[in-house]
Amino acid sequence: MNLKADAIAIATAVQQGEITAVDVVNTTLDRIAARDKQLNCFTTVTAETALNDAAQIDREIAQGNNPGLLAGVPFAVKNLYDIAGLTTLAGSKINAENPPATQDATAVTKLKNAGAILVGALNMDEYAYGFVTENSHYGATHNPHDLNRVAGGSSGGSAAAVAAGLVPLTLGSDTNGSIRVPAALCGVFGLKPTYGRLSRAGVVLFSSSFDHIGPFARSVRDIAIAFDLLQGEDAKDSVCTKRPCVNTLQVMTQNIDGLKIAIADDYFTQKAAPEVLITVQKVADALNVTEYVSIPEAHRARAAAYIITASEGANLHLDKLKSRPQDFDFATRDRFIAGALIPSSWYIQAQRFRSWYKQKVREIFQNVDVIIAPTTPISAPEIGQETMFLDGEEILVRPHLGLFTQPLSFIGLPVLSVPIQQANGLPLGVQLIAAPYNEMAILRVAAVLEKAGVISAEVV
């Protein structure tokens, strides 16, 4: 099996009998065994069930049945997704004491129903509170492009597993940038859909009013097909309301004539390394974009996002913070304790500002379809690195990797981080941002950029 093949190519080969699903899974398991000792992407590998599921796919094909659009495609999920028979860790020591999940998360079920084969669960920051995946319980996930550097977080295992060619498709979650940051630092595609568009049922939440789920992949078409398969109302998730499902895989083949695209300036050009801004300009030039747009009060949106997520996250874990603080990852614990001390009046004011900010950004999208912005302020920092210098100022790495992602997830916008490969071997990401429920627009733009060779995900 070609380890650089994307999910659709693998499924096509399986469906046409060029390779069996069992062979695909065996190759995948061999690749994981050979490389994951260095990378530390997986916390659990479900080899036995994966091989059983693969054998069933092969039987279906032999009988002339269609096992699904992702027949035989290996995938893995961040370990905050429920997997029947496994304990859902959510990156924590405390959760390891819980009983096994009795059923799969909705998203896992949907991919399995399409013929995809689950091969394991992936490392993350504890309770999804972080941007680096340096987990004190389960170890750091290493960036495949440079093993001395972080993979980003909190979905670091999900991004690194795709970049390293362990699997072509993974699922993560995004509260303040936890899909987009690791996608950028590992050089893969990462989609944070509109808030409420994909079901979070069976997923451990960090901050319910922010949390999204979404896919990582090495091609735009894989992102599109995963998004299409994951859509749909789910009564198990109160925010996953009924919306018309769209076939983005088909629509994204259209050109981008008629789409109005602009570059985010002001806040999104500050505290960024020079190569980050060069990367954004490279995308803009490829699209012949010369117009700029200012997203007002983005710095306040980021501050308000911190207040809300810290407060909601601390509330979820308050009992354990009181009774067993020593069992938390120290970095997570201290931020949750700080969140528990935030006055309720601050939380209320942050939510009021959120409503105002949402309206202001909605007005921008009356004149613009897609906005381009950097994903992270720097390329992947070294594991253990505490500070970085930007615009002559020394600032902390962990909180500031989400500098450009937080103001967007604050109001649930759909965003795709697309990968740009650099000569120094460390990739960067550019965010393609649209109005709620307009994922089609950003996927169309991404498809054009991919076809032109401007963006690409490389197996390393």
Contact 76, 55 (CB under 8 A): no
Among 154, 199, 207, 417, which one carries the catalytic annotation? 154
Which of 124, 145, 38, 41 is closest to 420 using CA atoms?
145
Give catalytic status of residue 155 as yes or no: no
* Helices of type H across 63-212: 106-113, 156-163, 180-186
| Residue listed under structure tokens 């009992």 | 319
Which of 227, 175, 165 is closest to 28 using CA atoms?
165
The DSSP letter of residue 203 is B
> 163: buried, middle or exposed (CB in 10 Å: 19+, 13-18, 0-12)?
buried
Among 92, 173, 178, 199, which one carries the catalytic annotation? 178
CA dist 96 and 319 (Å) reads 17
Cα-based torsion angle of the residue sequence 433, 439, 442, 447 in order, rounded to the nearest 10 degrees? 150
Cα torsion 177, 181, 184, 188: sign: negative
Beta 189-192 vs 212-217: how paired, if at all? antiparallel
Q: φ and ψ at 217, to 5 degrees?
A: -160, 175
Look at residue 389 and give its three-state secondary structure: strand
Interacting residues of 146 by C-beta distance below 8 A, sequence separation 6+: 380, 425, 426
CA dist 337 and 81 (Å) reads 25
In DSSP terms, 415 is beta-bridged to 192, 433
Look at residue 377 and give its three-state secondary structure: coil
Q: DSSP states of 230-275 as a string?
A: HBS--TTSTT--------HHHHTTS--TT--EEEE-GGGGSS--HH
Give catalytic status of residue 207 as yes or no: no
Contact 430, 372 (CB under 8 A): yes
Look at residue 84 and give its three-state secondary structure: coil
State both tokens at 8: 């659709």
CA distances in angstroms from 131 to 145, 175, 308, 396, 402, listed in the order given: 17, 11, 17, 12, 7
Give catalytic status of residue 344 as yes or no: no
Residues labelled as active-site residues: 78, 154, 178
